[in-house]
Amino acid sequence: MSRLDSFIRRLEAQRACLDLAAALVQSLDGPVLELGLGNGRTYDHLRELCPARQIYVCERQVAAHPDCVPPAEFLLLGDMRDTLRAARESLTGRVALAHLDPGTGDVAKSQALAEELSPLIAPLLCPGAILVSEPAVAADTLIALPLPAAVAADRYHLYRRITRRSSP
Amino acid sequence: MSRLDSFIRRLEAQRACLDLAAALVQSLDGPVLELGLGNGRTYDHLRELCPARQIYVCERQVAAHPDCVPPAEFLLLGDMRDTLRAARESLTGRVALAHLDPGTGDVAKSQALAEELSPLIAPLLCPGAILVSEPAVAADTLIALPLPAAVAADRYHLYRRITRRSSP
Write out pLDDT tens, residues A34-45: 999 999 999 999
pLDDT value of position B165: 55
Query: Cβ of B19 under 8 Å from any chain A Cβ?
Result: no
pLDDT exceeds 60 at position A93: yes
The overall longest dimension of chain B from CA atoms, in Å, is 49
Average confidence (pLDDT) over A76-90: 96
Across chain B, mean pLDDT equals 94
B45 contacts A2? CB cut-off 8 A = yes
B48 contacts A2? CB cut-off 8 A = yes
pLDDT value of position B52: 97
Helix (H, G, I), strand (E, B) or coil at B15: helix
pTM of the prediction? 0.90
Across chain A, mean pLDDT equals 94
pLDDT value of position B124: 98
Query: Cβ of A165 under 8 Å from any chain B Cβ?
Result: no
The reply to whether ipTM tops 0.85 is: yes
- A40 neighbourhood in chain B, CB within 8 Å: 3
**Percent of chain A residues topping a pLDDT of 70:** 97
Is the Cβ–Cβ distance between A73 and A67 less than 8 Å?
no
Burial of B130: CB neighbours in 10 Å, binned 0-12, 13-18, 19+ = buried
Spatial CB neighbours of B14, under 8 Å, sequence gap ≥ 6 = A4, B42, B101, B132, B134, B156
Query: Cβ of B66 under 8 Å from any chain A Cβ?
Result: no
Cα A142 to chain center, whole Å?
13
Measure the CA–CA gap between A118 and A136, rounded to whole angstroms: 10
**Between these two residues, B167 and A51, which has the higher pLDDT value?**
A51
Measure the CA–CA gap between B134 and B156, rounded to whole angstroms: 5
How is A50-112 classified by DSSP, letter by letter? -TTS-EEEEESS--S-GGGPPPGGGEEES-HHHHHHHTHHHHTTTEEEEEE----S-HHHHHH
pLDDT value of position B107: 83
Is the Cβ–Cβ distance between B158 and B147 less than 8 Å?
yes
Is the Cβ–Cβ distance between A13 and A157 less than 8 Å?
no
Is the Cβ–Cβ distance between A38 and A14 less than 8 Å?
no
Q: Is the dihedral of CA B27, B30, B31, B36 positive or negative?
A: negative
CA distance B9 to chain A (A): 9
- Name the stretches of chain B with pLDDT < 50: none
Give whole-number Cα distances, B69 to A158, B11, B32, B39, B90, in Å: 34, 20, 15, 9, 21
Give whole-number Cα distances, A93 to A37, A58, A89, A98, in Å: 22, 17, 10, 12
Q: Which is nearest to B3 in space by CA: B103, A7, B11? A: B11
Q: Per mean pLDDT, which range of A31-45, A62-76, A94-108, B69-83 is the poorest?
A: A94-108
